[in-house]
Structure 1
Amino acid sequence: MLISQIRNEDGSITVAVRLPGEAAHAVNGATSVYALAVEAANAGWSLKQTIEAKGLGAAVDLEKAYAEGRFLPPITHPDPAHLHLTGTGLTHLGSAATRDAMHKKTSEAAEETLTDSMKMFRMGLEGGKPKAGETGVQPEWFYKGNGTSAVAPGDALVSPAFAEDGGEEPEMAGIYVISDEGVPFRIGFAVANEFSDHKTERVNYLWLAHSKLRQASFGPEIRIGVAPEDIRGMSRILRGGKVLWEKPFLSGEANMSHSFANLEHHHFKYGLFRQPGDIHVHMFGTATLSFGDGIRTEEGDVFEIEADGFGLPLRNALAIAADEEVAIRQL
């Protein structure tokens, strides 16, 4: 089942659900995906049970809503500060090659040793999929921002004026709400564009944190439930309406060095991330980047990411913010 939310002319939200390949319908009495998910979590029901109990109403034309720019991110929080955008890297088989090339040192001594990227990747291969009851190795982890950085499908991803680059990262994102008792509940998974500054990251690995403080987009739809073992998608960049770059990407545990459960454990083990009522959008990494193929994006380029079984493609244009002076004042 796929779930999404549409902005209405009066400012209200229509929550729409559908099965892949079928028409969408509004969920009766649902004011937002967040409200619906919190209701289910606190009641001890599955989201599917909660939807079935409310029933479905009028048909919703998702393609028309997309064309009209009325898609919201598939989950939003009334207070954007309580939505957390985070992620993990070096989690996919093959992902280390691109990252290692970006971080490769030029000295002969460095060529004879593993980079930090390769060490982290190897740790994941050796301990990223622990047996039940065991704790696996923790992954690379980063923070992207809060709900103010979540961009709706169809809207532009805005790169800061000071950025060196703005490039796509096609990923799976896990979507979670925290119940009143502080228990994380997974709603499901969505296609995401983790959108990063790869040129800044390449200068020095310690600038990774800076390179990740960017907007991100996910959706338009969340696939409720567990993710398939083998996820196959396509990432492309359009320039002037024509395909500039296109490449398939793989995700799902069959193509990863970590299990989703291990990545979730090492995120939610922090009490900070189990605060009642919060939303978490956690991106699980990728092995496919246009940057690794020498592509340099330009303002107006359109990113398009899709995956089988995850609904409509995610589309966002690239915009560049105007330069602004930040003045620090003394109180």
Structure 2
Amino acid sequence: MRLIQFENADGQRQVGVVVGAQVQVLHDARNTRELALAAIRAQHSLQEEVLLRGSEPGPDYATLLQQHKVLPPLDHEDPAHCLISGTGLTHLGSADTRDKMHQHDGEVEAGMTDTMRMFKWGVQGGKPVAGQVGAQPEWFYKGDGSIVVRPGADFPVPPFAEDAGEEPELTGLYVIGDDGQPYRIGFALGNEFSDHVMERRNYLYLAHSKLRCCSFGPELRVGELPRHLVGTSRIKRNGETIWEKEFLSGEDNMCHSLANLEFHHFKYAQFLRPGDVHVHYFGTATLSFADGVKTQPGDRFQISLDEFGAPLVNGIGESAQPLAIGQVRTL
């Protein structure tokens, strides 16, 4: 089952199930967060909740996408209660790209880089047996719900950015129940959009490089994640594909289990506030930046994976006006 959130002709929010070319509109469902909380309180699955609500034929899906009426598949009416985060060095093959970024002029300054050390910790202990805690992954914060760009829309680029690069990933989408228990409601395609030039200067700048907008969706895939997934990441410029590459995901292609990544996120009590939404990026091993691609305003990213329905498409917008120095005032 694949769900979307969208705006109807009157600008009202609705939730739909994607069935072929058409959207089946759910009865009495304003958003997926409330739908998930209702399922939690009723102690049954999200899919059961959807079936209980019932639906009726709705709009053409392709038209909604073309008109940019499709919203992110999970959000919170108060963006401050939606946390966007992620983990890196999680996929087999991801270390090579990152390791080269964190070397200087192709040379390792003092033996093995910290990037490669952390990756090896994941390979050795990222998939513990059930009930045991595995190696801790790299973790980063991106922002709250205010940084999320809807499918089809352009990414705003801050004036101080040195790069505007895509990261094709899967995201886990979560709602915290009334009792503080995290519930994964499904998965979505994601573009984690980062500043790789800034990160390359020094790996300690990674935290800065991640504070950019992002996008996920357009569809929420309900249920378990297939163990082996093969998708495609593309960049188009003036209608022509200038770069295209396959990317792999699913646990068979990762050095950490999903359960281990989820544990090391939700082990922090501040992430267990009832009603909050969490969007967590699981990492990638495929970047156009690693192949020397320099993106520019007007470029369009397309991330596709058959098991997730329609591709996630976003563009690069123009840079915003620069901020003034000394903007903080003393009261």
Which runs of no fewer than 5 residues in structure 2 stay unpaired? none
> Residue deviations 1:89-114, cap 9 Å, x none?
00000000000010013496x36611
Match of 2:6 in 1: 6
The change in CA–CA distance for 1:106 and 1:154 in structure 2 (over 3 A counts) is closer
Query: How far apart are residue 283 of structure 1 and its match?
Result: 0.3
Moved more, 2-11 or 136-145: 2-11
Match of 1:67 in 2: 66
1:270 to 268, 271, 280: 268
CA contact (8 A) 1:16 1:60 kept: no
The answer as to 2:44 corresponding to 1:45 is yes
The change in CA–CA distance for 1:107 and 1:195 in structure 2 (over 3 A counts) is closer
Query: How far apart are residue 212 of structure 1 and its match?
Result: 0.1
Which runs of no fewer than 5 residues in structure 1 stay unpaired? none
CA contact (8 A) 1:168 1:193 kept: yes
The answer as to 2:308 corresponding to 1:310 is yes
SS at match of 1:151: coil
> Residue deviations 1:279-331, cap 9 Å, x none?
00000000000000000000000000011210110000101332232411111
SS at match of 2:316: strand
Match of 1:34 in 2: 33
Moved more, 319-328 or 175-184: 319-328
1:112, 1:76 → 2: CA distance?
44
2:222 to 224, 240, 250: 224
- Counterparts of 1:1-331 in structure 2, within 5 Å, are 1-18=1-18, 21=20, 23-106=22-105, 110=108, 113-326=111-324, 327-331=327-331
SS at match of 2:308: coil
1:107, 1:248 → 2: CA distance?
25
SS at match of 1:238: strand
SS at match of 2:307: coil
Query: How far apart are residue 69 of structure 1 and its match?
Result: 1.2
2:9, 2:53 → 1: CA distance?
23
CA contact (8 A) 1:167 1:297 kept: yes
SS at match of 1:29: coil
2:315, 2:106 → 1: CA distance?
39
1:13, 1:222 → 2: CA distance?
16
Query: How far apart are residue 58 of structure 1 and its match?
Result: 2.0
1:182, 1:60 → 2: CA distance?
36
CA contact (8 A) 2:100 2:106 kept: no
CA contact (8 A) 2:154 2:316 kept: yes
> Residue deviations 1:179-232, cap 9 Å, x none?
111110101110000000000000011100000000000000010011100011
1:107, 1:228 → 2: CA distance?
37
CA contact (8 A) 1:162 1:323 kept: no
2:309, 2:64 → 1: CA distance?
14
Moved more, 253-262 or 55-64: 55-64
Moved more, 273-282 or 29-38: 29-38
Query: How far apart are residue 44 of structure 1 and its match?
Result: 1.4
Q: Which amino acid aligns with 1:13?
A: R
CA contact (8 A) 1:161 1:320 kept: no
Aligned sequence identity (%): 53
- Root mean square deviation of aligned Cα: 1.3
1:226, 1:206 → 2: CA distance?
34
